[in-house]
């Protein structure tokens, strides 16, 4: 009986949780009421056109709009109601605070949502070093001559293919499941408030274009966003492009190598001119330069942009990208030297740490943002519900 009461209580708490706004959500709702009367920033990004379709803002509307925003700062620098005005409007900061709540709310498994609070720079570094140490122990089990200074070893001499697969396959499959469950929960919540219509091919094409071109990082006028001050810069857009496409090329390099191994029976190491090597080198350089620039932009960002509390999470993710790409390029340059085993362990450790934290770090923002952009392209093709109400 007690268990049944608890279940009923949990269900009621959950239901209320869907209705009651958190303090951060209530603050976004307050500020959006002001913006809805002002509408000066209408052309800046997708948030404002979505806002004008609403007179009030429920929890799901706010989750949807918070993930349409990417804290570019343009509307803060343009705002006549920002600090020191009594209205204290700061859309990028209040949206960022809600975004963190959405990452936690839609995390799967739920208990892992708290990782978002601790997913910082030091955790990223310590996790990488611990995993690198663990991988070194596995290497030593496979090859007792790992640190024999007279020998230059190959990759499979220190860690065979089966060990590599058994280390990474479970993590990769878990990532797919965790990110998929989070995306499903997020979409289930924002779809009803953006019109229960599936994306048409036109809407899907537009959303894909907006995602891949990072359209809303152009500030709405093509000159870019603000970062440190009132001047516009395209640096953030370029850095995101380099990081994203670098990551995808590295992923493509691994996928092609897997195809070579299993389908064509071709074993690594591959020649410099082979497809996996070329994709990996171009991807690695792009990923490294993009993430270094992201780190610079993050550290020099205006203090009122975004949520300062989330800096450790952002920097932790960026640090893992830098570690994974720099050690990967290091292996390309020094793979034939005696430093290879240590560099290889560090590279694998950083990739493992990156994939372990992927569903609970900044990466999830890309997933929820993509989903919000799809719903935005669907919603904008429908008649405004405000007009329908007037009829």
Residue 74 is a binding residue for ligand SF4 (CB under 6 A): yes
Quote the least distance from Cβ 46 to ligand SF4, whole Å: 7
Scanning the structure block, which residue is given the tokens 């991807």?
Answer: 283
For residue 60, the minimal CB distance to ligand SF4 (Å) is 18
Distance between CA atoms of 248 and 277, rounded to whole angstroms? 14
Q: Is 30 in the site for ligand SF4 (CB under 6 A)?
A: no
Residue 240 near ligand SF4 by CB under 6 A: no
Kindly state whether residue 78 participates in binding ligand SF4, applying the rule CB under 6 A: yes
User: Interface with ligand SF4 by CB under 6 A: which range of 87-95, 98-106, 137-145, 238-246?
Assistant: 87-95
DSSP symbols for 85-136: STT---HHHHHHHHHHHHHHHT-SSGGGGGHHHH--HHHHHHHHHHHHHHHH
Among 29, 41, 235, 358, binds ligand SF4 (CB under 6 A): 41
Segment lying near ligand SF4 (by CB under 6 A), choices 39-47, 205-213, 255-263, 337-345: 39-47
Rounded (5°) CA angle 27-363-238: 95
Stretch that binds ligand SF4, among 9-17, 85-93, 116-124, 235-243 (CB under 6 A): 85-93
Residue 342 lies near ligand SF4 (rule: CB under 6 A): no
* Nearer to ligand SF4 (CB atom), residue 87 or residue 260: 87
The answer to whether residue 306 forms part of the interface with ligand SF4 (CB under 6 A) is: no
Nearest-angstrom CA–CA distance, 112 and 105:
10
Establish if 69 lies at the interface with ligand SF4 (CB under 6 A).
yes
Nearest to 178 by CA among 103, 87, 119, 90: 103
| 39 binds ligand SF4 per the rule CB under 6 A | yes
**Residues 84, 2: Cα–Cα separation, whole Å:** 53
Q: How far apart are CA 387 and CA 371, in angstroms?
A: 25
Q: Is 92 exposed, middle or buried (0-12, 13-18, 19+ CB in 10 A)?
A: buried
Report the alpha-carbon angle 159-322-98, nearest 5: 120
Residue from 12, 40, 52, 299 in contact with ligand SF4 (CB under 6 A): 40
**Shortest reach from residue 231's CB to ligand SF4, in Å:** 15
Please identify which residue in 21, 26, 34, 275 interacts with ligand SF4, judged by CB under 6 A. 34
Torsion of CA 258, 158, 248, 306, to 10 degrees: 150
Stretch that binds ligand SF4, among 35-43, 107-115, 179-187, 231-239 (CB under 6 A): 35-43
149-174 burial string, b = 16+ CB within 10 Å, else e? eeeebebebbbeeebbeebeeeeeee
Asked if residue 45 binds ligand SF4 (CB under 6 A), the reply is yes
- Which is nearer to ligand SF4, 73 or 224 (by Cβ)? 73
Considering all CA atoms of the chain, what is the largest pairwise distance in Å, rounded to the nearest integer?
A: 84
**Residue 73 in the binding site for ligand SF4 (CB under 6 A):** yes
Nearest in space to 135 (alpha carbons), one of 332, 352, 335: 352
Does residue 139 belong to the site contacting ligand SF4 (CB under 6 A)? no
75 binds ligand SF4 (CB under 6 A): yes
User: Residue 387 in contact with residue 56, Cβ under 8 Å?
Assistant: no
Binding site for ligand SF4 (CB under 6 A): 34-35, 38-41, 44-45, 47, 69-75, 78-81, 89, 91-92, 95, 216
């Amino acid at each position: 009986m007690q268990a049944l009461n608890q279940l009923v209580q949990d269900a009621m708490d959950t239901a209320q949780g869907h209705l009651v706004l958190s303090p951060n959500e209530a603050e976004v709702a307050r500020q959006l009421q002001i913006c809805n009367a002002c509408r000066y920033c209408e052309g800046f990004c997708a948030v404002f056109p979505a806002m004008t379709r609403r007179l009030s803002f429920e929890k799901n509307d706010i989750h949807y709009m918070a993930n349409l925003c990417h804290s570019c700062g343009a509307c803060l620098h343009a705002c006549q109601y920002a600090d020191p005005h009594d209205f204290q409007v700061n859309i990028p900061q209040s949206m960022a605070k809600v975004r963190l709540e959405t990452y936690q709310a839609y995390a799967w498994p739920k208990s892992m949502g708290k990782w978002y609070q601790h997913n910082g720079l030091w955790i990223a570094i310590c996790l990488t070093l611990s995993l690198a140490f663990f991988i070194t122990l596995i290497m030593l089990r496979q090859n007792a001559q790992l640190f024999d200074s007279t020998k230059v070893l190959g990759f499979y001499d220190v860690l065979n293919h089966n060990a590599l697969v058994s280390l990474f396959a479970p993590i990769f499959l878990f990532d797919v499941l965790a990110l998929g469950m989070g995306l499903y929960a997020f979409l289930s919540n924002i779809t009803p408030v953006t019109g229960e219509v599936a994306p048409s091919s036109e809407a899907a094409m537009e959303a894909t274009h907006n995602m891949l071109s990072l359209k809303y990082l152009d500030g709405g006028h093509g000159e870019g966003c603000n970062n440190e001050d009132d001047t516009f810069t395209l640096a953030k857009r370029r850095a995101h492009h380099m990081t994203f496409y670098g990551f995808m090329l590295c992923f493509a390099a691994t996928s092609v190598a897997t195809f070579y191994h299993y389908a064509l029976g071709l074993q690594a190491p591959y020649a410099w001119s082979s497809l996996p090597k070329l994709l990996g080198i171009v991807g690695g350089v792009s990923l490294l330069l993009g993430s270094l620039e992201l780190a610079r932009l993050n550290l020099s960002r205006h203090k009122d942009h975004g949520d300062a509390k989330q800096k450790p999470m952002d920097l932790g993710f960026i640090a893992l990208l830098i570690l994974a790409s720099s050690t990967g390029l290091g292996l390309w340059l020094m793979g034939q030297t005696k430093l290879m085993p240590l560099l290889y362990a560090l590279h694998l450790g950083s990739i493992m740490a990156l994939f372990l934290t992927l569903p609970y770090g900044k990466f999830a923002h890309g997933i929820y943002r993509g989903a919000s952009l799809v719903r935005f392209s669907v919603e904008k093709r429908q008649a405004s519900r405000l007009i329908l109400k007037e009829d």
